[in-house]
Amino acid sequence: MPNVIILGSQWGDEGKGKIVDLFSEHFDIVARYQGGHNAGHTVFIGENRFVLKLVPSGILRPGKKAVIGNGLVIDPAALLTEIDALESAGVDVKNNLHISNRAHVLFPVHRMMERMSEGRAGRVSIGTTSRGIGPCYEDKIARRGIRIADLLDCAVFRAQYDSVMEEKVTIARAFDIYEPIDLAAIRDQYETLAQRIRPMVCDTAWLLNDAIRAGKCILFEGAQGTMLDIDHGTYPFVTSSSASAGGACTGTGVAPTRIGGVIGVSKAYITRVGGGPFPTEALDSQGERIRQRGNEFGAVTGRPRRCGWFDAPLLRYTAIVNGFDSLVVTKLDVLDDFEKIPVCVGYRSEGRELRQMPAMVSEMEKVEPIYECLDGWKSSTFGMASYDDLPANAKDYLAFLETRTGVEVGCISTGPERNQTIVRPGSKLDRLLR
The region of 39-47, 146-154, 335-343, 351-359 touching Mg ion under the rule CB under 5 A is 39-47
Residue nearest to ligand IMO (CB): 274
| Distance of alpha carbon 334 from alpha carbon 401, whole angstroms | 16
Phi, psi of 421 (to 5 degrees): -145, 145
Residue 296 touches Mg ion, criterion: CB under 5 A: no
Which of the residues are catalytic?
13, 41
Q: How far is the CB of 225 from ligand IMO (least distance, A)?
A: 6
325 versus 333: smaller Cβ distance to ligand GDP: 333
Mention every residue, 6+ apart, whose C-beta is less than 8 A from residue 315: 9, 10, 264, 266, 327, 401, 404, 405, 407
What's the one-letter identity of residue 341?
A: I
146: left (phi over 0), alpha (psi -120 to 50) or beta: beta
Distances (CA, A) of 383 to 308, 335, 419, 421: 23, 13, 7, 7
48 versus 170: smaller Cβ distance to ligand GDP: 48
What's the one-letter identity of residue 122?
A: G
- According to DSSP, residue 106 is labeled P
Segment 316 to 335, residues that bind ligand GDP, using CB under 6 A: 330-331, 333-334
Residue 226 touches ligand IMO, criterion: CB under 6 A: no
Residue 102 interacts, among ligand GDP, ligand IMO, Mg ion, none and using kind-specific CB cut-offs from 5 to 8 Å, with: none
Strand partners, 342: 373
Q: How far is the CB of 52 from ligand IMO (least distance, A)?
A: 9
Residue 126 interacts, among ligand IMO, ligand GDP, Mg ion, none and using kind-specific CB cut-offs from 5 to 8 Å, with: ligand IMO
426: left (phi over 0), alpha (psi -120 to 50) or beta: left
Member of 57, 239, 252, 326 binding ligand IMO (CB under 6 A) = 239
Member of 8, 10, 13, 315 binding Mg ion (CB under 5 A) = 13
Burial of 152 (0-12, 13-18, 19+ CB in 10 A): middle
Residue closest to 434 by CA, chosen among 5, 60, 4:
4
Q: How far is the CB of 372 from ligand IMO (least distance, A)?
A: 27
What's the one-letter identity of residue 322?
A: N
Q: How far is the CB of 13 from Mg ion (least distance, A)?
A: 4
| Distance of alpha carbon 33 from alpha carbon 241, whole angstroms | 9
| Distance of alpha carbon 372 from alpha carbon 393, whole angstroms | 14
Residue 40 touches Mg ion, criterion: CB under 5 A: yes
Q: Are 401 and 312 in contact (CB under 8 A)?
A: yes
Q: How far is the CB of 202 from ligand IMO (least distance, A)?
A: 24
Residues 8-47: x where in contact with ligand GDP by CB under 6 A, - otherwise, as a string: x---xxxxxxx---------------------xxx-x---
Residue 204 interacts, among ligand GDP, ligand IMO, Mg ion, none and using kind-specific CB cut-offs from 5 to 8 Å, with: none
Residue 228 interacts, among ligand IMO, Mg ion, ligand GDP, none and using kind-specific CB cut-offs from 5 to 8 Å, with: ligand IMO
Residue 326 touches ligand IMO, criterion: CB under 6 A: no
